[in-house]
């Protein structure tokens, strides 16, 4: 997934670039409003992390222009402006979130993933793709070539989360927080149960040479795009 970072502070831009790249994202960093709009038109990023105070304009105007021209991915403001009216203006311009500097990278990453997962789960804006594996959230169908697998709603949400992080272990706790934390009575082992369900459902995909859900000891579960076919 490609992320556009609009930040004129080179140090912060470098931190975001390194951190997001390490998490498997393709990152482009620009420092001006005009470059942000040009880059967004050229690459159609999956998400935008956007400063408000830019040398040639306001990030608020960039956000409005992105929405006006059809950008539907998450936009997260990252700004030193911390007044309530600043947050209200940013969210009113069409942003999904507003994070105040100084920030904790882990929190920004968690919020970004949550918004991306929400977009993937909406289902009406397109299919989720990881390698040759395609998930249609609207029908909860995973497809690999001629192999089509129907999933339950929760299995599809779990697969979407793993597909958003291909070849990267997603910690058990993170999966639980995204999919079950809001439900009273659920315990952490529900993640293992549903990973087992998903593996069983995806067995025909794996046999056809497609990816499989792997356990990375001590780190979590991963959609392994390089996994060899099981025979």
pLDDT, tens digit (0-9, with 9 covering 90-100), for 52-62: 999 999 999 99
> Which residues make Cβ contacts (< 8 Å) with residue 66, sequence separation at least 6?
37, 40, 48, 75, 94
DSSP string for residues in 39-82: HHHHH--SEEEE-SEETTEEHHHHHHHHHHTT--S-EEEEES--
In 10 A of CB 24, how many CB atoms?
A: 12
- pLDDT given for residue 122 in this prediction: 53
Q: Does pLDDT of 149 surpass 60?
A: yes
Which residue in the block uniquely carries the two structure tokens 């400063």?
Answer: 51
Instruction: Look up the pTM and report it.
Output: 0.56
Distance CA 162, CA 49 (A): 22
Q: What is the pLDDT of residues 187-224, one digit of tens each?
A: 889 999 999 999 999 999 999 999 999 999 988 999 99
Q: Tell me the β-bridge partners of 170.
A: 221
Which 8-state DSSP code applies to residue 157? H
């Amino acid at each position: 997934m490609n992320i556009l970072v609009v930040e004129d502070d080179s140090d912060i831009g470098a931190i975001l670039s390194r951190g997001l790249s390490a998490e498997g994202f393709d990152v482009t960093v620009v420092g001006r409003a005009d470059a942000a709009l040009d880059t967004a038109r050229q690459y159609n990023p999956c998400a935008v992390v956007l400063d408000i105070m830019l040398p040639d304009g306001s990030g608020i105007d960039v956000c409005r222009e992105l929405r006006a021209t059809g950008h539907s991915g998450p936009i997260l403001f990252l700004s030193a402006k911390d007044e309530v009216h600043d947050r209200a203006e940013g969210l009113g311009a069409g942003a999904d979130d507003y994070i105040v500097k100084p920030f904790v990278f882990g929190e920004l990453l968690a919020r970004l993933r949550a918004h991306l997962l929400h977009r993937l789960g909406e289902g009406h804006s397109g299919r989720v793709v990881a390698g040759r594996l395609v998930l249609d959230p609207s029908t909860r169908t995973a497809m690999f070539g001629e192999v089509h697998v129907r999933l339950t709603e929760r299995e599809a949400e779990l697969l979407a989360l793993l597909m958003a992080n291909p070849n990267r272990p997603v910690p058990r706790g993170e999966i639980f927080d995204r999919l079950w934390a809001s439900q009273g009575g659920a315990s952490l082992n529900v993640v293992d149960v549903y990973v087992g369900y998903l593996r069983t459902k995806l067995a025909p995909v794996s046999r056809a040479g497609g990816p499989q859900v792997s356990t990375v000891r001590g780190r979590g579960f991963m959609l392994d795009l390089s996994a060899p076919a099981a025979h």
